[in-house]
Amino acid sequence: MSKRLTIIAVFMLLFAATNFAQETFTHPTAQVSVTLPAGWTYTNDESGIVATPPDAAMAVTFSVVNNDDLYAALEGVDASLAEQFESVQFDEPVTGEVNGLPVIYVLGMADGLNAHVAVIDAPAGNTSLVVTYFASQDALDAYGAALQDILSSITAAN
């Protein structure tokens, strides 16, 4: 019985270490918090915050636009992407909420990469948080669950 308790205790310590290895950061301009999975890193510069998995197979960007009209903000992002990529095709926008924050998002392709753009009405006045990723199918297969966890972790900062 003692061996069994030791195994359970070790398992619980490993589980706890994994949870503590996650990192939550706050985007000060948008006033939102985001949690990254264990092993992911991020950089913060004038263009926004960029998060990458351990192998840097893809990147998730967090940037701010001064517009809380989600459709207008999405149109602005779409125009910007059209300048950066030769071919951009998105499905129809879908509206919803992420932890009480209104969101509009689109899925599609950009120059052969899977693409996702989410525009979230941030708590800061006249501000939307734009979350984007562009990933090969292999990267999406590897990190799809992590991407979902990141997107669903976005909350108003306290």
And the tokens for 7?
């195994």
Note whether 130 and 40 are within 8 A (CB): no
Closest CA relative to residue 60, chosen from 108, 117, 131: 131
* CATH superfamily membership of 22-156: Mog1/PsbP, alpha/beta/alpha sandwich (3.40.1000.10)
And the tokens for 69?
């009209």
Q: Is the pLDDT of residue 126 over 60?
A: yes
Instruction: Give the type of residue at 110.
Output: A
**Which of these ranges, 64-68, 93-97, 140-144, 152-156, has the smallest mean pLDDT?**
64-68
Q: What is the pTM of this model?
A: 0.82
pLDDT digits (tens, 9 = 90+) for 133-148: 999 999 999 999 999 9
pLDDT digits (tens, 9 = 90+) for 37-83: 999 998 887 678 899 999 999 999 999 999 889 999 999 999 999 99
Distance, CA of 147 to CA of 105 (rounded, Å): 14
Handedness of CA 30, 32, 131, 78 (dihedral sign): negative
